[in-house]
Amino acid sequence: MNAKANSISRRTILRGLGASIAIPWLEIMSGKTLAAARGKSDPGRLACFYVPGCINHYNWFPVDTGFQYAISPTHEPLARHRERFSVLTSLSHIEGRISGHPHPYNFLTGHNINITPGVLSNSVSMDQVAAKYIGPTYLPSLVLSWTSGVGAATLSRNALGVDIPATSDYRSIFENLFPPADASHLKQAKARLVLNRSILDTAVGDVKDLQRRLGRADQQRMEQYLTSIREVEKRLDDREAILKKGRPSFDETSVQTEPKSKSSMRDHIELMIDLIVLAFQTDMTRVVTQTLGGEAGPSYDEYKEWAKTTGAPTRGVHDYHHKGSGNRGVDNSDTKLIGLRDRMYCECLARLMDKLAAIEASDGTLLDHTVLLLGGSQISSHSGSNFPLLLAGGNKLGFRHGQHLKWKGNERSASDLYLTILQQLRCPVESFKESKGPITELLV
């Protein structure tokens, strides 16, 4: 699809956010990114999607490796993008390995959250390292999920390892993502910035008073805290500058805030995808994370349909993850059901890639400047020794796709992949968690 065919006229209806948005003509909605429309170089973008629970490993992993590998049944929906994605097998967290259902906690951190008995600790997630360096944007990162909240609902952790809450409310996401266009609302937003800055100033003053009375180790911990505050201050400055510039004026009279079906997994994911595309195209954010479901739920309508198709008993999502994983055989009905879910995730990823590839960038397409990571932490319930991972996009960032890479167990960590992504996004980092170096096989 060319850029002209993808252009949006004055009264075109944008489908997204569980909404229909009629917008006036805007230069950035002419099938181009904001940078391309303004004759500037496109920045890199990053979106990470987490697959909960187990996968159908019979259908996920290709039999052979290299560039001539045969695409596996699960990945067939991505066949048209063969040169724009790679399959990565046997990466995992090694020193940071955990088991059980808390895998979303450390999927993007690589931290052993149980390293101190009785204390749940964590470290910064890879997406937040990217958000620190590839801005500034109005929203440093967009944290999405199947439900709003922290813990397993979010993949993102700040510099102190604290959960960044995820949201699933479409209207709230839209309002947080785009600065207000109305003058009175803009005034309110600026007032909130002033209040937030005042709160930070007070916090810094109180901490510095306390710091003088602390021992060396506690002073170092406080300095880490102050560093986090300084990062927030910078983001407030960035946000204030963007508020002054304003944003594209959307006619929101026809906005609907509910999806067609609250209980449809595909609807939820596709609405979020539309939002992600819009966010990347307008450059309101460059970093997104999204969990695609829960380790134990929710029981979307699709599971009932898949159960009828495969003959699997009606179960909760948690039970499907247990009964459909492991070496139960390719013909096991629960395993087949998980395979249909995995395939749907790849269909959604292919849809996202279609949309990004249809948007013209300053060099190539938006997909060429966007790194997409789809994967999970388990091939069977509780097993975190081989992550099922797909890496896509970013061809203009130096990635070489169209291959299946496989390593020996414990040979390379997922942190090596994360370091590779960060460095190709031009983040000035030399390491990430337990990384030993970038994965050069993925690079041109």
| 190 & 94 share domain | no
- From 246, 273, 293, give the residue that closes a domain: 246
* Distance between CA atoms of residues 138 and 246, nearest Å: 10
Q: Are residues 68 and 187 in the same domain?
A: no
Q: What is the token pair recorded at 413?
A: 């960590």
pLDDT in tens, 70-83: 999 999 999 999 99
Q: Does the residue 251 lie in any domain? A: no
The DSSP code sequence of 272-332 is HHHHHHHHHHHTS-SEEEEE-SBTTB---HHHHHHHHHHTPPP--HHHHHHHTSSSS-TT-
Same domain, 266 and 402: yes
Within-domain flag for 269: yes
Model confidence at 188, pLDDT cuts 50, 70, 90, reads: low
Residue 8 belongs to some domain of the structure: no
Q: What is the tens place of the pLDDT at every residue in 201-222?
A: 555 555 556 656 666 666 665 5
277 and 225 assigned to the same domain? no
How many structural domains compose the chain?
A: 2
Q: Are residues 156 and 224 in the same domain?
A: no
Q: Tell the residue number behind the tokens 């975190």, with chain if given.
A: 384
Q: Is position 432 within any domain?
A: yes
pTM beyond 0.85, yes or no: no
Task: Verify cis geometry, omega within 30 degrees of 0, for the bond prior to 438.
Answer: no
Mark whether 80 and 167 lie in a shared domain: yes
Domain that holds residue 211: 179-246
Identify whether residues 235 and 309 lie together within a single domain: no
The verdict on residue 152 lying in a domain is: yes
Is 23 inside any structural domain?
no
| Coil/strand/helix, residue 374 | strand
Which residue, 6, 14, 13, 1, is CA-closest to 33?
6
The token pair that represents 256 in the structure block:
């609907």
Same domain, 349 and 216: no
Domain edge (last residue) among 217, 246, 275: 246
Please tell me which residue, 119 or 134, carries the higher pLDDT value: 134
Residue 253 resides in a domain: no
Whether residue 6 lies inside any domain: the answer is no
Which residue is associated with the tokens 């109180």?
Answer: 206
pLDDT tens profile 121-130: 999 999 999 9
